[in-house]
Amino acid sequence: MTCEHAAKVKPVPPRTPTGCEECLTAGTSWVHLRLCLTCGHVGCCDDSPGRHATRHAQASTHPVIASYEPGERWAWCYTDQVGVDLPPQAVPYLR
Ligand SMILES: [Zn+2]
Ligand SMILES: [Zn+2]
Ligand SMILES: [Zn+2]
């Protein structure tokens, strides 16, 4: 399976660099953070109660996220359900 989405993303700076956008608004907690490489949405992972990264991907159809955890360098395509190489252009926006 090959992913055509990762090479096409044009990452933008994180909208909420301090945490999950929805959790910050609601005052809830998260486990790990993920960055949407289409719009800069920061959401929480599927181990978090809110699962806001996945819910954002489903609502927006933005395909590719990257880990927004310090030092982690990987990306995932929701459309293809496959791990993808981290687009180099996203690196400046990660932690
Ligand atoms: Zn893809
Ligand atoms: Zn969240
Ligand atoms: Zn997005």
Residues at Cβ < 5 Å from ligand 2 ion: 20, 22-23, 30, 44, 50, 52
Ligand 2: distance of its center to the CA of 65 in Å?
14
pLDDT tens per residue, range 7-44: 999 999 999 999 999 999 999 999 999 999 999 999 99
80 SS3 class: coil
Q: Which two tokens stand for residue 36?
A: 């949407």
Residue 80 has pLDDT above 90, yes or no: yes
Ligand 3: distance of its center to the CA of 5 in Å?
13
Residues at Cβ < 5 Å from ligand 1 ion: 3, 5, 77, 79-80
Residues 55/45, Cβ–Cβ less than 8 Å: no
Residues in the chain: 95
| Angstrom distance (rounded) from CA 30 to CA 7 | 29
Residue 1 has pLDDT above 80, yes or no: no
* Secondary structure E strands in the chain: 33-36, 42-44, 64-67, 75-77, 82-84
Q: What are phi and psi of 75, to 5 degrees?
A: -140, 160
Ligand nearest to the CA of 10: 3
| Angstrom distance (rounded) from CA 90 to CA 12 | 8
Is the pTM higher than 0.85? The answer reads yes
Q: Which two tokens stand for residue 93?
A: 């926006």
Residues 34/67, Cβ–Cβ less than 8 Å: yes
